[in-house]
Amino acid sequence: MTDILVKLGYLAGASRFRRISEKLQQDGDKIYSESGILFKASWFPVYYVLAKSDSAQTILEVAEQIDFTHITVKNILRELEKDGLIIIQSNPKDKRSKLVSLSKRGKETQKKLEPLWLSFSNTLEEVFTTGHSDILNILNRIDWEINSNPINHRILNHESHSVKIIDYKPSLKKYFYELAGTWLLGVLNGELEDDDKFTLNNPDKAYLEKGGFLFYAQYGSDIVGCVALKRLDEDTFEFAKLFINSDYRQLGIATKLIERCISRCKENHSKELWLQTTMSMPQAHKLYYKLGFTNREAPTQMDVLKRTEKIMCLEL
């Protein structure tokens, strides 16, 4: 029988997510039942928030932490209360809201659930990574996209421009110097380091021929950003020459380019991703920290540039 959802492609995207979710929840319910635990997979996010909270939570606080609708959280809480896993009380500070916490039975159930959750996590990692080794990063990007610019807004506004991250091809070579070169000349007062002179004019030889990668950000028909992913050794990469056209810096392009670097590193089963930066870029540093980079000493295989003032690394 033809799978109509597969045939519909992107049009059935939400339906595919729902189908996957329902199958996972059905299997989860079977595991809980076979383990003799009264629990439903659909309760997990709400229950987990309450289990890990130091104090009682309002319904709104629970909803905000998992970004579920208020009504969805309320319905799950109703089921949890019915089975005696939570306690719902009046909020003395706000008569319009209720405070929710685990009951004694709920806390006892938590002790039984936590070993199962570890098994769930390991098994789901096996399942999800069959689709892509960096599936969580991909899901994060989808989540960010629909939150920052909802589908209904895109359709109503007939939006024709969106940011795409594309791999290197010969026709894009010139943009590497046009973007990163112009920026570096300004930073270095018109005097490029020897490494810069070669890499900016020969990104294919400097990176691709040595096992690295080049990515470009495209907005509409314009190339507005670039980044190089330099291979340091079999298990290690460094990203460099990250630059975004100043007219397009409020679109999250830097994050998209770095995430593509991270994704490609994971596809190559790399262990570390490094970067070099200067102290004159505090906003960039905030982004790096947000993505999980930490300050480190330079590895022996890294060619440290004269202008470098800070070195950071992301464990993959």
pLDDT for 193: 80
Given a cut of 70, whether residue 161 has pLDDT beyond it is no
Average pLDDT for 299-316: 93
Pull the structure tokens for residue 70. 């208020």
Average pLDDT over residues 257-286: 92
Q: Model-level pTM?
A: 0.64
Whole-number Å distance between alpha carbons of 78 and 169: 55
Q: Decide if 4-128 and 138-315 have a common fold.
A: no
Residue type for 211, please?
A: G
Local structure of 241: helix, strand or coil: strand
Q: Which two tokens stand for residue 114?
A: 């936590």
Residue 206: its pLDDT value, please?
A: 92
- If pLDDT is split at 50, 70 and 90, which confidence band does 288 have? very high
Q: What is the mean pLDDT of the chain?
A: 90
Name the pLDDT band for 153 (thresholds 50, 70, 90).
confident
Taking residues 227-234, report their average pLDDT. Answer: 96
What pLDDT does 49 receive? 95
- Whether residue 155 is predicted with pLDDT greater than 80 in this model: the reply is no
How far apart (Å, rounded) are the C-alpha atoms in residues 2 and 246?
Answer: 48
Structure tokens at 195: 């490494």
The structural domains of the chain, with segments of one domain joined by +, span 4-128, 138-315
The CATH class of 138-315 is alpha beta
> Sorting pLDDT into bands at 50, 70 and 90, what band is 230?
very high
**Inter-residue contact 32 to 40 (CB < 8 Å):** yes
Query: Is pLDDT at 158 greater than 60 in this prediction?
Result: no
Label each residue of 55-119 as H, E or C: CCEEHHHHHHHHCCCHHHHHHHHHHHHHCCCEEEEECCCCCCCEEEEECHHHHHHHHHHHHHHHH
Q: Would the CA dihedral through 214, 218, 223, 224 be positive or negative?
A: negative
CA dihedral 299, 305, 311, 316 (to 10 degrees): -60
Confidence bin at 134 (pLDDT 50/70/90): confident
* In the predicted structure, residue 299 carries a pLDDT above the cut 60: yes
Question: Of 113, 122, 235, 214, which is closest to residue 165 (Cα–Cα)?
Answer: 214
Q: Which CATH number fits domain 4-128: 1.10.10.10, 3.40.50.1110, 3.65.10.10, 3.40.50.300?
A: 1.10.10.10
Residue 144 has pLDDT above 60, yes or no: yes
Phi, psi of 314 (to 5 degrees): -115, 120
Confidence category of residue 136, pLDDT binned at 50, 70, 90: confident
